[in-house]
Chains A and B, each alone.
Chain A
Amino acid sequence: MSFAPPTRLLRSATFRLTLVYAALFCTSAAVLLGFVWWATAGVLSQQVDETILADIKGLAEQYERRGTPGVAAIISERVRRDPGGRTVYLLTDPLRRRLVGNLSSWPSVQPDTDGGMTFERVDRGSIDGRPHLARARPFVLQGGLNLLVGREVRELEQTRRMILNAVIWGILITAALALAGGVAMSRSTARRIEAINETSRDIMSGDLSRRIPVRGTADEFDQLAANLNGMLDRIQHLMEGLWHVSDNSAHDLRTPLTRLRNRLEGLRDDEPASGRRDALEAAVGEADGLLSVFGALLRIAQIEAGGRRENFADVALRDIAADVSELYEPVADEKGLTLTVDMARAGNVAGDRDLLFQALANLVDNAIKYTPAGGTVAISVDAASLTVADSGPGIPAADRDAVFDRFHRLEASRNQPGSGLGLSLVRAVAQLHDGAVQLEDNAPGLRATLSLGS
């Protein structure tokens, strides 16, 4: 299994669908993890703030009860019991000069909106290159003294950072997993759809025996495949019926026609040279004409039914063009026409040599038939197309589609011999080769291009 190229992957409906799901999934994960971050980190900060508030409340009560010396004694005692300095205490006079505490000076930061202050403890240096972060709340005691109570929040910050990292990585990993899963899922779905498409293409190009593979899991894809296969069975059945009828009518109708023709021929041979003999000769000719029209019709029907590609081989368009031009050169010469052939860019195609020859011969035959003496018929060959351009009267733009219909003959050409099947056959051959026939104005004349699939 080859990987789909990126542009095709982006165009794939299933991949786009999984991208949308991946985006939704990532957003949900981000919201969820964001909530976890807010809940954990936020609650931790809140707890610190509550501890500080409770501490301040206790000290304020002590101040009311025991005055400045009492509070100073409590602070000194607490600082002494915390040599690691996890707690922050500072008591200053109204001019913020230090009275007691483990902070050398009042921090030079403004309090937050909620009254808290977060600052770096410059007096304690740093650990692992990171400054000591502290969070504290100022409180003005009744005597105008300033009290600052806080806690170092280095560990809290670390925890918050860890949670944040976890949240970011979580989102990234979720996104990567969602994307990878989406690609894998869309590939698997795309593969199954591609199997259906591939089979359809084969069938459209004529191989009606192809069927969509069924996995046997009885899922929606299997049901779809089974339904399509059932439909194809039905179509094949009908087509085979049609072929059967056409083959049989070839046998059933051409045989009595042949019989009629042969009896006329027998009568002709028994007749001594006379006017009757000529009349019988003409009747044989008419029967031959009828049979050849019937044969051409069947031939077109069989080519149009497609699937008859057993004889496809590598065909050099140069050879086809050279042989057709060689075959028709004397006819063109006899009619006073110049037949040219340009094979400079001739390529090879996979095709049926006899049918391509017949198609080009029909186009050249038409061109020679309708181009008046002194004109030119030019065959040119490209990589995958054969073009016949003439200097005849051309075909009016309005009639260019209709001329491909069976038995269609333009008013102007009714006096010319022909069955009106030549271009129908050319189109059938073109379609068998995944190609088309295009009629254009050659100004003057007609330019017919038989393009063959790539």
Chain B
Amino acid sequence: MRILVIEDDADVAAYIVKALREAGHVATHADNGKDGLFLATTETFDALVVDRMLPGPDGLTVIRTLRASDDMTPALILSALGEVDDRVKGLKAGGDDYLVKPFAAAELLARLEALTRRAGGSAQAETALRVGDLEMDLLSRSVTRGGTPIDLQPREFALLEFLIRNAGNVVTRTMLLENVWDYHFDPQTNVIDVHVSRLRQKIDRDFDTPLIHTVRGAGYVLRAPDPAS
């Protein structure tokens, strides 16, 4: 993916660019709002990473300007301000996701993947999802693995659906909280891990190849088993 990073802090920018390049993306960097806006309007990117506080026009103004000219490139806002109303302001300005500094590179990558997937996703409604031998019927809300029905609680179903939709990509704990529980908050303890471990028990325990994997320091990934193994 081609990703434009508009960030005035040289170290943070270098960290982001390095992480993006290591993940195989093409990253372009602008260190102020004016240059960033110029690059965003003259070149094509798959996603934007925009710091909220910038010299020149600030991050929100950059995104608002792009949206006003019908540029719908997915944009992730970075901010040192974590308050909910700042998040709402960011999303109102046209941002697609909001990430509070400090963040781990894995969190940023996972969110960018999810953003571009969402933007490129087909508009028509799917009725079934499938990863390996795991099948999810969205209409009857039933799950089978290798033909064996698996009984899931509603929240477990939602958790699994989010993992399947992001299959192959890392999802972080905060992404799960925001998307599966729909709350923006800071869990003090490992509440999410316990939920994932319960889901894992139902999905993976009776089968040879695990689908849900823990990614150390980042989160979880649901991945189809490698056909070679």
Contact = CB atoms under 8 A, between A and B. Distances in A.
A361 B84 contact: no
B80 A254 contact: yes
A279 to B, nearest CB: 14
Given A258-B12, A261-B102, A358 B185 contact: yes
Contacts of A311: 84-85, 88
A11 interface: no
A259 B101 CA distance: 10
B125 interface: no
Nearest to B177: A327
A308 B83 contact: yes
Contact of B80 (A251, A330, A365): A251
Contacts of A154: none
Interface residues of B, number: 34
A262 B84 contact: no
B84 A365 contact: no
B82 interface: yes
B74 to A, nearest CB: 23
A298 B12 contact: no
Nearest to A295: B82
A318 to B, nearest CB: 15
Interface string A260-292: 011001100000000000000100100010011
Nearest to B154: A326
A281 B186 contact: no
B154 to A, nearest CB: 9
Interface in B52-100: 53, 80-85, 88, 100
B104 A265 contact: yes
B139 interface: no
Interface stretch (B31-39, B144-152, B190-198): B190-198
Given A254-B101, A331-B191, A296 B186 contact: yes
Contacts of A334: 194
Contacts of A417: 189
Nearest to A364: B191
Interface string B149-167: 0000001000000000000
Contacts of A422: 188
Q: Is the interface of A mostly helix, strand, loop or mixed?
A: helix
A257 B183 contact: no
Nearest to A296: B186
A446 B55 CA distance: 50
Nearest to B190: A331
A250 B101 CA distance: 9
A357 B102 CA distance: 23
Nearest to B199: A330
Interface string A391-420: 000000000000000000000000001100
A254 B198 contact: no
Given A259-B12, A265-B104, A299 B188 contact: no
Contacts, number: 98
Contacts of A328: 191
A358 B186 contact: yes
A417 B198 CA distance: 23
Given A327-B191, A365-B189, A259 B100 contact: no
B9 interface: yes
Interface in A316-353: 323, 326-328, 330-331, 334, 352-353
Interface in B172-229: 181, 183-191, 194-195, 198, 217
Contact of B82 (A284, A298, A352, A362): A298
A363 to B, nearest CB: 11
Contacts of A362: 188
Interface in A365-411: 365, 368-369
Contacts of B80: 250-251, 254-255
B3 to A, nearest CB: 18
Q: Is the interface of B mostly helix, strand, loop or mixed?
A: loop
A354 interface: yes
Interface string B8-26: 0101100100100000000
B155 A291 contact: no
Contacts of B194: 330-331, 334
A362 B189 CA distance: 10
B198 to A, nearest CB: 6
Nearest to B16: A262
Nearest to A284: B217
B119 interface: no
A328 B185 CA distance: 14
B105 interface: yes
A377 to B, nearest CB: 14
Contacts of B11: 255, 259, 262
B55 to A, nearest CB: 13
A355 interface: yes
A354 B188 contact: no
A262 B191 contact: no
A353 B85 CA distance: 12
A331 B83 contact: no
A255 B12 contact: yes
Residue among A250, A298, A328 with most chain B CB within 10 A: A250
A174 interface: no
A352 B184 CA distance: 11
Contacts of A292: 186
B64 to A, nearest CB: 18
Contacts of A254: 80, 101-102
Contacts of A291: 102
Given A259-B12, A298-B82, A323-B183, 5 more contacts: A255-B80, A262-B12, A323-B181, A331-B190, A365-B188
25 contacts: A251-B53, A251-B80, A254-B80, A254-B102, A255-B12, A258-B102, A259-B9, A262-B12, A262-B102, A262-B105, A281-B217, A284-B217, A295-B100, A295-B186, A298-B82, A308-B83, A323-B181, A326-B155, A330-B191, A330-B195, A331-B189, A358-B185, A365-B189, A417-B189, A418-B188
